[in-house]
Amino acid sequence: MKNFLFAVVLLSGCASAFAQETTIIESAYSVSPSRGQGYKVTVAIVASNPYEDKFASYPEVRVTLRAADGSIITTQDVNSAGIPPKNKIAFCKSIYADELPTRVDIRPLSAHYEPTIFKASEFLPFKLLNISTKPDHLGRLRITGEIRNPYHGDTGAWITFLFRDSKGKLLGGHITYESTIPPGEPSPFETYIDADEAVQGVSSIEQLVFSHNNYQSSWQKLLR
């Protein structure tokens, strides 16, 4: 397997200095040759909502790839589903570049906080069951399992797998989407992590699941 370049981008003090920006807990990226030409940069971000009375309806970050001379190769704004009060999510994004980046900047943008009448305890967690990981004949990692929807209505969910080393350091991640998960019995799912997404030194894979809903209005049918 080819060597992969990865580094952790550390950002601190976001919540205290800029209360309305997305609070990034940790982030990492990996770089690998793309299947066509150039490079594939996969960014993994863990973000939280520190407030008890606000809902982060549209958390965003700006990812900028830079060359050795500091010039910008490409830049993209990346967002994910909403973050309930006192909760956290994790999301990943693959960005393609024509040249090898030597630096990746991750800047928090607005989280679009809005007041909420819902308590943190009302946002029930999804559960993953019977997770199995096996390599397939194409060199991919096949992940299968079941997901349980704790709410009374159908909803979709993002499932994020965070790659960590033996000390718990974030190395990268993979995300998959399940569009319709009915309540009641767990629903099966499967996803594949391509060989070019692999990161060296992975000791454990953390799993985070959260609803796809960005706005509180989308939650009303689930929470009431």
The length of the chain in residues reads 224
Over residues 143-171, the pLDDT tens digits come to 999 999 999 889 999 999 999 999 999 99
Q: HEC profile for 189-221? A: EEEEECHHHCCCCCCEEEEEEEECCCCHHHHHH
Kindly report the backbone phi and psi dihedral angles of residue 18, in degrees, each rounded to the nearest multiple of 5, phi listed first: -135, 90
Over residues 47-103, the pLDDT tens digits come to 999 999 999 998 999 999 999 999 999 999 999 899 999 999 999 999 999 999 999
* pTM listed for this prediction: 0.85
| Cβ neighbours for 126, distance < 8 A, ≥ 6 positions apart | 147, 148, 149, 150, 157, 181, 209, 210, 211
Structural domains in the chain, CATH included, are: 5-115 (2.60.40), 120-223 (2.60.40.10)
Q: How many Cβ atoms sit within 10 Å of the Cβ of residue 63? A: 21
Over residues 31-63, the pLDDT tens digits come to 988 877 799 999 999 999 999 999 999 899 999
Q: Which residues face 175 on adjacent strands?
A: 160
User: DSSP string of 75-119?
Assistant: EEEEE-S-B-TTEEEEEEEEEEESS--SEEEEEE-B--EEE-SS-
Q: How many Cβ atoms sit within 10 Å of the Cβ of residue 152? A: 12
Over residues 196-223, the pLDDT tens digits come to 777 888 889 999 999 988 877 788 778 8
Q: Calculate the average pLDDT of the chain.
A: 86
What pLDDT, on the 0 to 100 scale, is given for residue 8?
27
Q: Which residues face 79 on adjacent strands?
A: 60
Which region holds residue 158: left if phi is over 0, alpha if psi is between -120 and 50, else beta? beta
